[in-house]
Amino acid sequence: MPRPDITEENPIREAIAADRPGIVSMLESIQRLKRGLIGYPMRAPEQATPEYVAELYGLIEENDGLILVYEMQDQVAGFIAGFITRDDDINAEDDFRDHALIADVYVRTNLRGLGIARALFSAFEQRMALAGARHVRIWAKAKNEGAMLAWQRLGFEPYETVFVKAIGPEVESAS
């Protein structure tokens, strides 16, 4: 399949209310992937997604954020969502602490490899730079090697790593 063109037929634009069901469906897919890779403590999509959607939309509204969608044939083929935030590390320079954070990005499985994610990242970065951000960050679960490789191909560098160790009573897996 040829690379898509960002044209009037396939625009990147800000999400509208009618896009929400498609975005929610993609967020459920992200949660399913995370749960498949990690298991516990990731909740099932039907439990986690409604609460997360409300939180995500709230953070976007409160923090100069946005959701951009890539539209193809009148459907959302992918999206990127993020906002401006501040790192709590007081040892970092202020211009680094204030940054754009990509909360989620997703491209429908059958459309991957066509440059849609790259186009979404580029559009998001441009919008956040106009809003004053000098850096952009994105998180990845440690077991999501595919995402980490993709982010590095897009120019991101590893910055922090968080380690977790259970210390309490054994937790049953929520299979």
For the chain, give every domain's residue range. 12-153
Residue ranges for the chain with pLDDT beneath 50: 175
Which CA distances in Å does 169 have to 38, 70, 165, 172? Answer: 19, 45, 12, 9
pLDDT of residue 159: 95
The whole-angstrom separation of Cα 2 and Cα 101 is 30
In this prediction, residue 170 carries a pLDDT of 74
Looking at residue 11, what is its pLDDT? 87
Give the type of residue at 131. A
Query: How much is the pLDDT for 69?
Result: 98
What is residue 10's predicted lDDT score, i.e. its pLDDT? 64
User: What confidence score (pLDDT) does residue 7 get?
Assistant: 60
Q: Rounded to an integer, what distance in angstroms lies between the CA atom of residue 143 and that of residue 74?
A: 34
**Packing angle between helix 45-62 and helix 20-38, nearest 10 degrees?**
120
Convert the pLDDT of each residue in 60-71 to its tens digit: 999 989 999 999
Question: What's 12-153's CATH class?
Answer: alpha beta
Q: E-strand spans in 32-152?
A: 66-72, 75-86, 98-107, 136-138
Phi-psi region of 64 (alpha: psi -120 to 50; beta: other; left: phi over 0): left
Q: Give me the pLDDT at residue 153, please.
A: 96
The pLDDT of residue 6 is 61
pLDDT given for residue 23 in this prediction = 97
**Quick count: other Cβ atoms within 10 Å of Cβ 7?**
7
* β-strand partners of 135: none
pLDDT of the residue at 99: 96
